Amino acid sequence: MASIYLLLIFLPMIAAFFILLINNSSFRKAIVFLMSAILIGVALYSISQGDKVIVLSHSLNSALEYLITFADYFLLAIIFLIGTKLKNKLISLLAILQFVLMFVFEFKVGKLDVENVFFVDHLSFIMLLLINIIGPLIAIFALSYMEEHEKHLHLEKSRQNIFFTVIMLFLGAMNGLVISNNILWVYFFWEITTLCSFLLISHDQNEESIKNATRALLLNSIGGLSFVIGIIFMYYKSGTVALNEIISSQDSSILMIPIAFLTLAAFTKSAQMPFQSWLLGAMVAPTPVSALLHSSTMVKAGVYLVLRLSPVFIDTWLSKIVAVAGAFTFVSAALLAIFQSNAKRVLAYSTISNLGLIIALSSIAHRYAIYAAALLIVLHGVSKALLFLCIGSIEQGIGSRNIEDMDGIKYKMPIVAFLTLLGSVSMLLPPFGVLITKWIAIEVSTQNIAAMLEIILGSAFTVVFWTKFIGKILSDGKDRNKIEKFEFIKHIPLMAISILVVLVSIFLIQFTNMFVVPFFKSSFARYSGVSSTNIKELYVKDFFGFNPVVFFGVLVAAVVLGALIYRWFKPKRYVPVYMSCENSDNFGFRGEKDKVVSFEFKNYYFETLANEKTVTLVVNVLSIALIAIMFGVILK
């Protein structure tokens, strides 16, 4: 029984080893497809087993214990060496500090026995679904993307084996992170994801990518150090390092200090302000990497940790500050997204913004806030995976990731343009679920007026940058030549993810009943403020009267009706745009001496009001202040 959980962690890692060893394209393809099928199968099987606390045989447990302890030090040594190689003393220093603290801690307290190796509940299931369905689909997409990518780079020797090795390692580590019960193990997998993201961001090995990867490593090392301090405090405050014991702990007040440090670690991993710069820098990596980092791995580890620890600290002053800090990231990242014309940066800021919302929701003491937080992890994951892969395809198609160059993309690359549209609409409009979580966020945040004001403003900003983005994808362009060819290995993963985007939103309530409510019941049972009303299954009327099926029904009806009306109004005549009757065509007018003057219109980026740099500076200062307040609150 325990073996399926071990499989989830170690199978991708073994596959990674073989991919590294055998640098052969068809072998790699076979392994990626095989692993995808196995991972999805195993994940679904483990979910069918229900909530579990896994005890391994004594010998296996201690073997694993030694293995992971050793590997952990090894990992820190590698990060130290990378630091010295990059001539970045800070990274090396942070690695040494983690090493020493960890070593002294483990030496002093001796062997930390955690009998229950794996603690698998419905929150783990949600994460497993995300990691093992979206992750492999991105990997399959990357097969075709990376070939094209390397063609552009004119490499003599393919480095794809390293790329896919890291991706497989990443998926294994993420699985480990979400099912481990021993927080030291969580830390180990946490550090692997840091290393993996460093390797993936620096994949192209040019100056810019190495620089950005270094920044990612540095900021995540700060998080790593914070994590270690959190663990040590946790042990001395509660006498345990087992997650399931911590979250059922009766006295939350003594745990405030460790929770604050772990939350800070989560902030770095989820790229919350002021740590957002590493995720933006990560844009230089090949697009499947961005898709992976933003949807099913890396940044989701941070919000997972906050949501996991939420039962311990919810409705304390600490949680109120965390909610304000998360909501602050929500509003400021949305504001920064308005200034962006680079599609990937828009998406990156939108991710940061949504992660902020998830963190805010995770720390608001309200049943629906927790529901919405868990739902948003999934909804955001699927939509963002789709959007990044689409933007990657567009970039390879038209050679630019600037939104201003996407005029007429609906003619040039109809399939991808349509899927991009679906992805961005799912982040903004009803009846898709992301809107519902925003709606819940405003209604529940009335408990915390500062967070609420931030969410109100952020909500308006979100509408602005998404509308600009969608408007551009739908706009007319001069060049209407279709350049898109259907490629099985590239388009099938895209379509699969877009089907998931729609399905998750249609079955939002069923999904909540199946996964989120049980998680809430088991984790928040002891917390009376949240669960005072007896928790039953979620019926339609409980969800603020929102029924996705009805809304999708109205949508379908409207489309059918629209088609009929279209037949009725069928345009009889197409005309050029109005240019005071001086058109040459849709893209120019006759000027002096009938000379054709072409015009173009660009989106507003509000450069005259403010720019990204100043706003970033202000936002960073404010968010550092918030973090200082967060730590100030817990000091007695």
Partner 1 sequence: MKQALIVLASVVLSPLIGGLLTGIDRKITARMQNRFGPPILQPFYDIFKLFSKETIVVSNTQILYAFLFLVFNIVAVVMFLLKMDLLLILFILAFATTALILGAMATNSPYSRIGAHRELISVLAYEPVLIAMIVAIYFVTGSFNIQDILKHNSFLILDLPFIFIAFSYVLTIKLRKSPFDLSTSHHGHQELVKGITTEFAGPVLGLIELGHWYELVLLLLFVWLFFAKNIFVAIAAILICYFLEIVIDNISARLTWKIMLQLTWSVAFGFALVNLIWVYIKYRLL
Q: d(Cα 369, Cα 13) in Å, to the nearest integer? A: 36
Record the tokens describing residue 140, joined without a space: 């399959």
Which of 463, 502, 514, 535 touches partner 1 by CB under 8 A?
463
Q: Specify burial of residue 292 (Cβ count, 10 A radius: 0-12, 13-18, 19+).
A: buried
Which of 254, 550, 597, 609 touches partner 1 by CB under 8 A?
609
Span interacting with partner 1, options 188-196, 351-359, 439-447, 521-529, rule CB under 8 A: 439-447
Q: d(Cα 126, Cα 413) in Å, to the nearest integer? A: 33
Q: Which is nearer to partner 1, 163 or 589 (by Cβ)?
A: 589
# binding residues, partner 1 (CB under 8 A)? 55
Q: d(Cα 242, Cα 240) in Å, to the nearest integer? A: 6
What torsion do the CA atoms of 536, 540, 430, 138 make, to the nearest 10 degrees? 50
Q: Is the peptide bond before 286 cis (omega within 30 degrees of 0)?
A: no
Span interacting with partner 1, options 387-395, 567-575, 610-618, 626-634, rule CB under 8 A: 567-575
Q: Specify burial of residue 443 (Cβ count, 10 A radius: 0-12, 13-18, 19+).
A: middle
Whether 431 contacts 507, CB under 8 Å: no
Q: d(Cα 293, Cα 190) in Å, to the nearest integer? A: 13
Residue 428 binds to partner 1 (criterion: CB under 8 A) = yes
Alpha helices by DSSP H, 474-547: 488-506, 508-511, 517-523, 528-531
Among 196, 187, 191, CA closest to 135: 196
Residue 340 binds to partner 1 (criterion: CB under 8 A) = no
Task: Compute the least distance from the CB of residue 475 to partner 1, in Å.
Answer: 6
Which of 87, 108, 152, 573 touches partner 1 by CB under 8 A?
573
Single-letter amino acid code for the residue at 26: S
Residue 442 binds to partner 1 (criterion: CB under 8 A) = yes
Under DSSP, is residue 583 helix (H, G, I), strand (E, B) or coil? strand
Whether 298 contacts 327, CB under 8 Å: no
Span interacting with partner 1, options 116-124, 137-145, 427-435, 495-503, rule CB under 8 A: 427-435
Residue 461 binds to partner 1 (criterion: CB under 8 A) = yes
Q: Which is nearer to partner 1, 38 or 463 (by Cβ)?
A: 463
Span interacting with partner 1, options 25-33, 159-167, 383-391, 575-583, rule CB under 8 A: 575-583
Record the tokens describing residue 614, joined without a space: 């100043």
Q: Which is nearer to partner 1, 48 or 608 (by Cβ)?
A: 608
Residue 581 binds to partner 1 (criterion: CB under 8 A) = no
Question: Residues with Cβ < 8 Å from 251, sequence gap 6 or more?
Answer: none
Residue 154 binds to partner 1 (criterion: CB under 8 A) = no
Task: Compute the least distance from the CB of residue 154 to partner 1, in Å.
Answer: 37
Count CA atoms closer than 13 A to 561's CA, side-chain side: 6
Whether 330 contacts 353, CB under 8 Å: yes
Residues paired with residue 118 on neighbouring β-strands, in sequence order: 54, 180
Residue 446 binds to partner 1 (criterion: CB under 8 A) = yes
Residue 317 binds to partner 1 (criterion: CB under 8 A) = no
By CB under 8 A, the residues from 394 to 423 that bind partner 1 are 407
Which of 6, 101, 456, 492 touches partner 1 by CB under 8 A?
456
Residue 615 binds to partner 1 (criterion: CB under 8 A) = no
C-alpha distances in Å from residue 477, one per residue of 194, 474, 576:
42, 9, 13
Which of 483, 554, 621, 629 touches partner 1 by CB under 8 A?
554
Residue 537 binds to partner 1 (criterion: CB under 8 A) = no
Residue 545 binds to partner 1 (criterion: CB under 8 A) = yes
Residue 474 binds to partner 1 (criterion: CB under 8 A) = yes
Residue 304 binds to partner 1 (criterion: CB under 8 A) = no
Q: Binding residues for partner 1, per CB under 8 A? A: 407, 428-430, 435, 439, 442-443, 446, 449, 452-453, 456-457, 459-461, 463-464, 467-468, 470-472, 474-477, 544-546, 554, 558, 562, 565-566, 569-579, 586-587, 599, 601, 603-604, 608-609
